[in-house]
Chains A and B, each alone.
Chain A
């Protein structure tokens, strides 16, 4: 039986916007607008969506870098959203992050050993020797030589820097690591290294991942479950392999159709979406996807569909089902 580590319910984040001009009405960008999902212990949840769909805002909410407008984030049975900032220390230790760009996420003025030791020194009372021993251990875990701890980040390649970022995330014995596009900035041959490393670390330590990306193939490879996000809402959540085999929501289908073939004769159902993602400041009424949906019905522009279960563990928000 999978044990939930993180349960997100009806999470919302609205950013207020000042009115434009004298008579302009004030509004809100509904970056995340009522999403619910669960990350199980030792498992990976993939979150896919195009730019501007609210993926990154979701990750900031999970990291408690932003406070939600509404909803709850339950971690190991405790609601984080309701907790005052000063009680978040322990949560922040257990939830770590790896960012997309390994060139801007490591301080250029610190030796990499210090970078990796910093989170654990902040959270634990460690002696210098213990700290150094732990750093060496972490270096070996992520496939770097411990003597590299004395170097500076500019002496490392992109893939090695991403390894450092992973070591830093592991340094506090995190239970959940938010991976925000961890391989997008890397070369193809290096991506496979990082994906394998992440899989390996999960198998060894039972750490959970929230894997945010726009590359469907990478997400379906690494994740047990995949959630598809569009304009601040989840449109479909399913087991990753099942989602690949049988996507239900038209947007998910379009994403799969748009992902590139793995060889020249692979034929795909062509669903070319018209237009671009509308602004989250003024999302369409009814189903948010209806203006671009090839299967839109009159009902879609009126009523907003709810996430309903179509098969065990496969939920979709669409009036077609």
Chain B
């Protein structure tokens, strides 16, 4: 069976100052997602995670252009579709959950109205059945007394409830893929746990695939089946989740894992030297080389290719084989 989503060599660049300044936010990204899978996209701010997601639904800023690549969803290349055909995809087949629920909800429309919109717009339901469906969806995201909340407005909800409502909207069109871009960053820890568990339950019930964009490796450990680590517009490592945590191959992945404090220990943290690079002035060779402990002359001169392993893991590093860490040394 073909995968649900196959992205191949996606390049999205931002053009500034009449094209004289090019920011390669996404620069040759390839990955696949199977139906019902949870795919994690990890990286620091400015590494291109969000631009990758916006490219998938083709909602990009005017200065950005997809310059190369294919986005095959359900056997169809989304980049070949007209703007009108694309509107049929958004909300119905691919939905999004964004970081700030207050910005993605309209303060002037009632909750019921906004949750109903995707199903109404795509002509799936009308009238009483639509209302019933909305109440079901609100109940599914555990909004207490949905019949009453149906008439209320976003400002009457708490942060956690708003984010759950955005989750209900994402479900409304019955999508096969939901893109969740840092959905829990603004939530408190106990509310975050409630929300992550809720998303897992919904996924189990509907079989929807999830793309989870985050910089939090804890969320990845809890939620994802497969993870891609992005750095400076490229995927530097992609592995099933256990492989990534127990045997990270790319020095960047390993450094990231070593730089987060763990509960109950006071082991010194590893601090990655330097800063993430400016995407309009990328270093030569491997983009990570100025911060990498393993950098050699080759890393500075030549860009490493995607190394594909037999078990489906890919690494973009000249030292991939050498930097493999044995499981007991890794984060046991």
Contact = CB atoms under 8 A, between A and B. Distances in A.
A220 B261 contact: yes
B268 A263 contact: no
Contact of A262 (B44, B218, B266): B218
Give the size range of A's interface with the partner.
35 or more
Interface in A152-201: 157, 159, 187-193, 195-196
Tell me what chain B mostly uses at the interface: helix, strand, loop, or mixed.
loop
23 contacts: A157-B275, A187-B215, A187-B276, A188-B215, A189-B259, A189-B271, A189-B276, A191-B259, A191-B260, A192-B271, A196-B268, A215-B261, A217-B261, A220-B261, A222-B261, A258-B190, A259-B189, A259-B218, A260-B222, A262-B221, A262-B260, A262-B262, A272-B193
B222 A261 contact: yes
A160 B127 CA distance: 56
Interface stretch (B13-21, B61-69, B112-120, B241-249): B241-249
B284 interface: no
Given A214-B188, A255-B190, A196 B266 contact: no
A260 B266 contact: no
B189 A220 contact: no
B193 A188 contact: no
B264 A220 contact: yes
Interface string A69-80: 000000000000
B256 A221 contact: no
Nearest to B44: A187
Nearest to A260: B218
A256 interface: yes
A256 B263 contact: yes
A265 B330 CA distance: 13
Contacts of A245: 264
B77 interface: no
A149 interface: no
A68 to B, nearest CB: 26
B156 interface: no
Tell me what chain A mostly uses at the interface: helix, strand, loop, or mixed.
helix
A221 B261 contact: yes
B269 interface: yes
A151 interface: no
Given A50-B190, A189-B44, A196 B271 contact: yes
Nearest to A196: B271
A34 B270 CA distance: 39
B264 A195 contact: no
B100 to A, nearest CB: 15
Contacts of B218: 259-262
Contacts of B215: 187-188
A24 B262 CA distance: 48
Closest 6 CB pairs of A and B: A260-B218, A221-B261, A244-B264, A192-B259, A258-B193, A192-B269
A255 B275 CA distance: 32
Nearest to B160: A276
Contacts, number: 115
A75 to B, nearest CB: 27
A51 to B, nearest CB: 6
B26 to A, nearest CB: 18
A218 B262 CA distance: 8
A163 to B, nearest CB: 12
B89 interface: no
A273 interface: yes
Given A217-B260, A263-B221, A264-B241, A195 B189 contact: no
A261 B217 CA distance: 9
A263 B194 contact: no
Contact of A217 (B256, B263, B275): B263
Interface in A234-281: 241, 244-245, 254-266, 272-273, 276-277
B255 interface: yes
B155 interface: no
B280 interface: no
B271 A187 contact: no
B218 to A, nearest CB: 2
Contact of B275 (A159, A214, A259): A159
B179 to A, nearest CB: 20
Nearest to B259: A192
Given A258-B189, A261-B221, A272-B190, 13 more contacts: A189-B271, A189-B272, A190-B275, A192-B271, A196-B269, A215-B261, A241-B266, A255-B190, A259-B218, A261-B218, A262-B260, A264-B241, A264-B245
